[in-house]
A and B are shown apart, each in its own frame.
Chain A
């Protein structure tokens, strides 16, 4: 136990040239598109062949720029789309939602620290469709904070705890959400 604490204290006091200096970039996210097909030669209820197809698109991107040392601003974008088609009765279903919003992030400790602490505040707007005008979009904000463990100069393992509040326009009550997460954050820039 003592040895583990000693290792932790060495790690916490070790310095690295973390990429949180002015002019560097935060990058993250990904995109996947999946199209699945389910074929049944002889469906028991109809004694006919049945085909079901499902496609899903998930996009989650974030990018930020350090305006000054330790302070970054950026944008997060997300799209989720699900579509289904079943050959029985020509059933089809489609739902698309999109989310976007700005964020600001601040690191509290010196930029050379291997373990740093950050706080992140963001605003988001979520709507049906992507470019469609939504009369009652969901709007809200997230506040999260936690430690960032720089595994090297470009990658940080982040633990977060936070709070989110959101509310549909024209509706009285909102949602209050507790958030926690673990993830890898990529830092790129001139200090490669």
Chain B
């Protein structure tokens, strides 16, 4: 078993591919969803009307980057989460929104043809959110740094594992807000050197 793993690891480390981290190529991430849920409950009010309503959720996570030089990309990220709900027992729409956006830069340390590469990613973010069903609102800004290996499973697709740190800068005196994040995901690379 150990031998098989060693052979597999050695093969992966020494294999090369024309990874899309050359100048002019694109990093792309996109996932959006919209759900409109109409629900009806078995509960009834004194007049016999069933409790019913609807709930909508919009979630979008978009990121795009451009390789300004070989191995160095810069871009922007946008995240939007919005929820709204209303029911016949509580007329009027209620909901909250959270929007996060900001620039990022990413650098790959190993030669661009390596099948396993190492990257570091730094970003700055601005955030706006409402809470308590729109009764309160808050704005923040801060930075994130992350690093990890990227396994190019295809010239245009990398499986990435990262460990990162995030710090909110817009806190009141005497307060600190920070977080540690680990992530596993697929990163799409597109560009002039499309795989054939």
A residues touching B (Cβ–Cβ < 8 Å)? 27-42, 151-155, 157, 164, 171-173, 175-184, 186, 188, 192
Indicate the member of A29, A30, A171 with the most B CB atoms within 10 Å. Answer: A30
B42 contacts A152, C-beta separation under 8 Å:
no
Whole-angstrom distance from the CB of A112 to the nearest CB of chain B? 14
Give the residue name and chain of the B residue nearest to A178 (CB). B36
**Which of B67-75, B108-116, B123-131, B178-186 lies at the interface?**
B178-186
The answer to whether A30 and B32 touch (CB under 8 A), given A152-B194, A155-B156, A173-B40, is: no
Chain B residues lying within 8 Å of A152, measured Cβ to Cβ, are 156, 190, 194-195
Give the number of chain B interface residues (Cβ < 8 Å).
40
Whole-angstrom distance from the CB of B111 to the nearest CB of chain A? 21
A selection of 26 A-B contacts at a CB cut-off of 8 Å is A29-B185, A30-B185, A30-B186, A31-B183, A34-B180, A36-B177, A37-B178, A39-B177, A42-B174, A151-B188, A152-B156, A154-B155, A155-B188, A173-B42, A173-B50, A175-B37, A175-B39, A177-B37, A180-B34, A181-B31, A182-B31, A183-B30, A183-B32, A186-B188, A192-B154, A192-B195
Which residue of the partner chain, among A30, A154, A177, contacts B184 with CB atoms under 8 Å? Answer: A30
Give the residue name and chain of the A residue nearest to B51 (CB). A173
Chain B residues lying within 8 Å of A179, measured Cβ to Cβ, are 33-35
Chain B residues lying within 8 Å of A180, measured Cβ to Cβ, are 33-34
Whole-angstrom distance from the CB of A90 to the nearest CB of chain B? 21
A36 contacts B179, C-beta separation under 8 Å:
yes
A112 to B28, CA, bound (A): 24
Give the residue name and chain of the A residue nearest to B38 (CB). A176
11 further A-B contacts with Cβ under 8 Å, apart from A37-B176, A155-B190, A184-B29, are A32-B185, A38-B176, A39-B176, A39-B177, A154-B157, A154-B195, A155-B156, A173-B39, A180-B34, A181-B34, A183-B32
The answer to whether A34 and B179 touch (CB under 8 A), given A152-B156, A171-B42, A184-B30, is: yes
A69 to B7, CA, bound (A): 33
A53 to B158, CA, bound (A): 32
A30 to B41, CA, bound (A): 34
Whole-angstrom distance from the CB of A140 to the nearest CB of chain B? 11
Whole-angstrom distance from the CB of A136 to the nearest CB of chain B? 13
Within 153-196 of B, Cβ neighbours of A (below 8 Å) are at 153-157, 166, 174-186, 188, 190, 194-196
Chain B residues lying within 8 Å of A41, measured Cβ to Cβ, are 174-175
Chain B residues lying within 8 Å of A154, measured Cβ to Cβ, are 154-157, 195
Indicate the member of B29, B50, B176 with the most A CB atoms within 10 Å. Answer: B176
A184 contacts B182, C-beta separation under 8 Å:
no
A188 contacts B157, C-beta separation under 8 Å:
yes
B175 contacts A38, C-beta separation under 8 Å:
yes
Whole-angstrom distance from the CB of B91 to the nearest CB of chain A? 20
B186 contacts A186, C-beta separation under 8 Å:
yes
Give the residue name and chain of the B residue nearest to A154 (CB). B154
B178 contacts A188, C-beta separation under 8 Å:
no
Give the residue name and chain of the B residue nearest to A192 (CB). B154
Give the residue name and chain of the A residue nearest to B185 (CB). A30
Chain A residues lying within 8 Å of B177, measured Cβ to Cβ, are 36-39
B35 contacts A183, C-beta separation under 8 Å:
no
A182 to B39, CA, bound (A): 24
